[in-house]
Chain A
Amino acid sequence: MFDTALTANDFLFLAKGAGMTIFVTVIAVFFGTVLGIIFGVIRYQIGPVWAAPITFVLDIFRSIPLLIQLVLAYAFLGTVLRLGLSGLTVACIVLTLYTSAYCAEIVRGGIEAVPLTLRRASRSLGMTWGQDMRNIVMPLATRVALPSWIGLALGVMKDSALVYVVQVTELLKSTQILITRLQEPLLLLMICGAFYFLISFPVARFGGYLEKRWSND
């Protein structure tokens, strides 16, 4: 069963695909989280009625399949607006917005989990809104939100496989290309899966480590 046509070069080709997956994921999760925090705080702060337009837009990103978003964004930005963006740029933009939509919900939930009485206590000590946010709300909300956020990051990593539709050759696409050429789907998919695992596992473990460290009682 180890009789394979897979060469070191092919393996490198897969590794490059994995690199692309990591790149797209890191960009999307980083900027998506920054945007998500901004949207989440705004939504919480101005209340559900005023936040309705933001909520509506975020809901669109959450409810339309990513594949469709990618194709439509690529067509719209490229063909209609003629911005001449590369597939990779479109992929990063769409994935970032997609991530931010989910992240905003996680952030809002985290903030809501911080008891109002704690915030009253900090404000009555003379702390400003910003000081309360930074020193009380953020650390406590982070603890609540972390497991969901890790889940989101891992989910985005796997969803990023869909960016092949805008001509980005990431891990899964690379695997498919090799499968077409070598006709060894089982072996290649196993290697591909192993790559995904190698990327996810440290992230999941890091999350577990943080959770443990933060559970002081």
Chain B
Amino acid sequence: MKQKLVLIGNGMAGVRTLEELLKLAPDSYEITVFGAEPHPNYNRIMLSPVLAGEKTIDDIILNSREWYAEKGIRLISGDPVVEINRARRHVRTRDGVVAGYDRLLIATGSNPFIIPVPGHDKAGVIGFRDIADVETMLHAAKDYKRAVVIGGGLLGLEAANGLMKQGMQVHVVHLLDSLMERQLDKAASALLKSSLETRGMQFLMEAQTAEILGDDRVTGVRFADGSEVAADLVVMAVGIRPNMALAQQAGLHCERGIVVNDTMQTFDPRVYAVGECVQHRGSCYGLVAPLFEQAKVAANHLVEMGIARYEGSVTSTKLKVTGIDLFSAGEFNEGEGDETLVLQDPSQGVYKKLVIRDNKVKGAVLYGDTMDGTWYFTLLREGTDISAFRSTILFGQHDLGDAGHGDASASVMALPASAEICGCNGVCKGDIVDAISKKGLFTLEEVRAHTKASSSCGSCTGLVEAILAGTVGEGYDKAPSKKGMCGCTEHSHDEVIAAIRKGKLKTMQAVRDALDWKTPDGCASCRPALNYYLLANWPAEYEDDAQSRFINERAHGNIQKDGTYSVVPRMFGGLCTANDLRAIADVSDKYKVPEMKVTGGQRIDLFGVKKEDLPAMWKDLTDAGFVSGHAYGKAMRTVKTCAGKTWCRFGTQNSTGLGVKLEELTWGSWMPHKFKLAVSGCPRNCAEATIKDFGVVCVDSGYELHVGGNGGIKVRVTDLLCKVETEEEVLEYCGAFTQLYREEAHYLERTAPWVERVGLNHIKQQVLEDEANRKALYERFLFGQKFAQIDPWKARAEGSEAHEFTPLKIA
């Protein structure tokens, strides 16, 4: 018989937990849901736009009644649970419905705090919490004129804005001297206040409410100083209190909220709790991103996987008042020893402040221009060292060299529905917005799966995130505290790499067993990653698994859209002879190659080769002295060189010769992603060494070494690592840097984002300052190369993996 799960609270956190649970194990429970409100689950954070008339209630329904029916969930709405009996393991509702449980999930959310002043129970005094409150406000706006909102926080201002849009005159009453003091510093708060004032909102600051006036219905508010203001409607938005009455009555340990541990379990092991009603490590959360993280963890434990932990959340806030852009995250008021970076442009209404500690972002407040909010938030969460781009950080991410999608200052939400967002897959803004609202999507992953937007090269990820945030509001699940490698595991790339090293795990099965993989043989994203990590860590022992390689690396050619392959022989340093070219020409004739092209990496690409012709073609090429160019792999690709000192009148050093040496050193090595080098003979830099993963610029006195450049999706100029004097040093530093990247970067992370993630200082420490470490890295690189520099083409031309290339024929 199936176990019984009862959920009390039909809101976002609880239902999200059910969705996560159904994803993991659809048949694990017989589920009953109790909701106090008469509606199915809706997006509570979108109540403000409903009040402002920008959305309807139907727009914000997340799970229709059909959803519950389809999933076999019993929904009892409009009948609140009034008792939990833990001894008998059942719950009872007001109308007398009794349901037994094996596991109980409490997600009762929170209640608006109503200030207990005289008259607080008069008609026309409400909180701002649910659909009923919104309906009351909408009705009031039809019959009455004057509204008072008590509370100048996020919720209060959204309520005031909505009421104003409905035609009411609104006074906002705030106890303190600045608005939204929990999210904004004083400067941003003042900007916000004056902007709202120009829209007609009136403020009564530092006003303490003493009494609500009127007979049955409210007629006004009196303050502690004796002054009064007239009102037909009073909305109290002074905060929320976790709704823990039921839990307390049932004897569960509660403090400010229902106390839970890192697995979202209460003091009764059969009872879990998520959402605004809980207190975790001393914190209660009122924003939605943390609730979704909690939901994930609770679901994981309810289906008895038992591996996820909730470790608390860093949150960020956006005000949902159309036309006002505001963002805040982290510790936005500087403490002792903190530094602040401020950009202020009063006439444009722009204010940006970052709080910095030890070269890391600790907090951010943005007003007027919030385009980079997500970026700052990412830097904050990941603890990125910003010293390399500190001087320009306030100008935003695009200033780092994003090729960009048009005018960054134009807000994404202002774009028309027909604007193309994802250039790879041809997805327009309208498609994304439709998918989000019709299919109820909340995460970037879901949007990618349904629309394909940002699922190819990923350069439009920021835009898609902005659309997601704009469409679903705070519901957008942008801040998982940590991200699993793929759907098969909760463990992050770093955790997997550490486990492989620490546990001396040397097979894929050992990794999957040690880290509780959810699938028996992984998936198309984790298998290639694990194969690489094992190969990079145990070059001598690990046996490469062909079936875990993407087809390009298995067939040693690039698959093209018609299923044929392209072949690129290696030309060391881009040098070639007449005989080399003749051999390539002969091969091209013999196998009827339909198209040839000179590549950007200074070699020749032969397109349109049938897979079964590959081994024979490789044999002809290896006979002529070529080896594979690895143009298909997450591997060392090419070393680009310029004309060089032999011919160029500006050349210094033997740059072309050095290029050949570097290519001889590094060819054949597998990498987290593709890896390109270049050597320029003088600072004119004709080989474009400063947009390569490792670039050398020769100068009269030696060699400048540059790292972390990228000419692809997002152009990034290299950082200067150091200057050295001899070729031997170039080779050693190159090998050491490459090995550090091979050991530390995540699979499919190029050097540019890796350098930005770990910081240039870290790389300098490892490669420059610690000489012994540099030599050790270089040694490990050379050791790995012993096993990697075996030409895959020659091996296959001699018959290795023949089954891969031979089709079977039947008539």
Q: Do A and B assemble together?
A: no
